[in-house]
C-alpha cells in the first residue's frame, strides 16, 4: 500500500508528466485485493505464469496501462497475438501464456 500511496502522490505532484506502470505481485485469491490495486494504480492486471517457459510454476499478476484489447501483434516477433486460456478461475481481465510462437493472451 505504501507503493500505491507513493505513486499516487507522485502523479499528483507531476501531473504534467505521463506515467506508465509495470507492477508485479503474486496471484491474489481475493478479488477485492485485485480491485484495490487496480483502482489505486489505474491499471489493469494480466496473469502470467513462468511455467509456460518450462520454469517453476509461479503465476503472477502484472499491472500495466496497456490496453490489451487493442494489441493485435507481438511487438517482438510481429506475429499475430494469440489470446489463449490459462488458469483463470478468478476471472482476471487478461490471462497470458508463453508459447514457442511468443506470448499469447486471453
Q: Residue 85's pLDDT is what?
A: 44
Is residue 13's pLDDT more than 90?
yes
Quick: pLDDT tens for 23-38: 888 888 788 888 888 8
Query: Closest Cα partner for 64 from 52, 83, 81, 47?
Result: 47
Do the beta carbons of residue 40 and residue 2 sit within 8 Å? no
Look up the pTM and report it: 0.65
Structure letter (DSSP) for residue 23: E
Quick: pLDDT tens for 61-100: 888 888 777 777 877 788 776 655 455 565 555 556 555 5
Do the beta carbons of residue 61 and residue 24 sit within 8 Å? yes
Amino acid at each position: 500500500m505504501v507503493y500505491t500511496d507513493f505513486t499516487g502522490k507522485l502523479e499528483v505532484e507531476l501531473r504534467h508528466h505521463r506515467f506508465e506502470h509495470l507492477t508485479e505481485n503474486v496471484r491474489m485469491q481475493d478479488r477485492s485485493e485485485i480491485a484495490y490495486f487496480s483502482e489505486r494504480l489505474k491499471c489493469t492486471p494480466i496473469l502470467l505464469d513462468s511455467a509456460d517457459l518450462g520454469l517453476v510454476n509461479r503465476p503472477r499478476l502484472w499491472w500495466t496501462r496497456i490496453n490489451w484489447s487493442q494489441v493485435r501483434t507481438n511487438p517482438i516477433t510481429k506475429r499475430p497475438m494469440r489470446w489463449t486460456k490459462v488458469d483463470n478461475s478468478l476471472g482476471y481481465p487478461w490471462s497470458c501464456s508463453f508459447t514457442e510462437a511468443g506470448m499469447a493472451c486471453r
